[in-house]
Amino acid sequence: MTPTCPGPTLGVVGGGQLGRMLAEAASPLGVDVVVLDPTPDCPAARVAEQVEGAFDDPDAVRALAERADALTLEIELADPDVLESASAEYDVPVHPSPDALRTIRDKLVQNGAFADAGVPVPEFVRVDGADDLADAVEALPGSAAMLKARTGGYDGRGNRPVEAGDDYGAALAEVGAGDGGALAEELVDFEREVAVIGVRGDDEVRAFPLTETVHEAEIMRETVVPARTSDAVAKRAREVALDALDTLDGRGVFGIELFETSEGEVLLNEVAPRPHNSGHWTIEGATASQFEQHVRAVLGWPLAPAEARAPTVTANVLGDVSDPEPARLRGVGGALSTPNAHFHWYGKREVRPLRKMGHVTLTRADADENDLLAEARGLRDELTFTTDDHDPR
């Protein structure tokens, strides 16, 4: 698609924070965005048009395709068959490809595809019931496993560690395996979790610098760039990420999550066929954000360099409430008044326990990554959704 201004209209399946940030990045390029989302007045609706409907509703996807010059997605709940049908009916390209989505949305299929391509992944087995899980725990190293639902898991949901003697039926129910089944992976003894944001354009590939991702209770809390690891590990992580990218079809940004093991090896964890939380640092910390790169890539436009400007840390703002309630964040002034700090609000109307509601980014050329991380955590910890009648902020 030849770059022009005004540009084409991009249709996005999903209107959460990723759709919102895609629309914000598309606007300076002259690209309009229409999102499909079932939530009325979804986060992206404040900066883009919205088609209201389910992600896999054929009529809603056709309505999106009818208004767009190209289609993409920001959530794996998109249905690849429905996308493929709408793409053919309206002669609208869709990227990443429906085949890539088919591979990624089922974690068992995803692991098998990468293993077959020679990409290093943790040892894994298929689990269809409690007896399978018992056998898997016994067979996998350490008599323990990471149990994952094959579809639908995110932000720590849909997976949990399992050890010998656990209630296997209850574990399967907890991850929501249901009729879709599950897989059990080797419980990796990792030194740290890292990620690479890979970008495939029309005839070019980019990879952002290695990101260290800090998790607690399976939910990403912070990212650190550059990752606090050796040059050799960073080089190997890039190689593994690009090999994984070669396994998948279509243009766009792919969030590639990896483990650095205690022995210094790199294993692929999972891949997301879209911009990813581990790449939010690129908005202020890179020469072009992952969102701008995704827009360029899916339209077949030239990619920008994928280089870091300076050491950069992000800290996610999660819901600190016990029950869902209308979202009102307090304590924002500290982040706004701190030099080189950038506050991002995702526009969600309701806060829920541990729901991702925003993030704070700190970037500074002369900073030590540990000091920057401590400062970002301090700013994030000042933010709260809980009510304090004595707090005027």
Q: Which residues are annotated as a binding site for ATP?
A: 107, 148, 185-188, 193, 215, 269-270
Of 198, 196, 287, give the one whose Cα is nearest residue 245.
Answer: 198
What angle is formed at CA 222 by the lines to CA 217 and CA 228, rounded to 5 degrees?
A: 110
Interatomic CA distance for residues 256 and 82, integer angstroms? 25
Question: What DSSP designation does 94 have?
Answer: B
Strand partners, 258: 194, 268
Structure token digits, residue 101: 């989505």
Q: Is the peptide bond before 96 cis (omega within 30 degrees of 0)?
A: yes
Among 218, 187, 182, residue whose Cα is nearest residue 108: 182
Distance, in Å, from the CA atom of 206 to the CA atom of 200, rounded to the nearest integer, reads 7
Distance CA 16, CA 141 (A): 38
- Which positions make up the binding site? 107, 148, 185-188, 193, 215, 269-270
CA dist 294 → 105, 180, 187, 225, 306 (Å): 19, 30, 32, 20, 12
CA nearest neighbour of 159 among 173, 150, 167, 149: 149
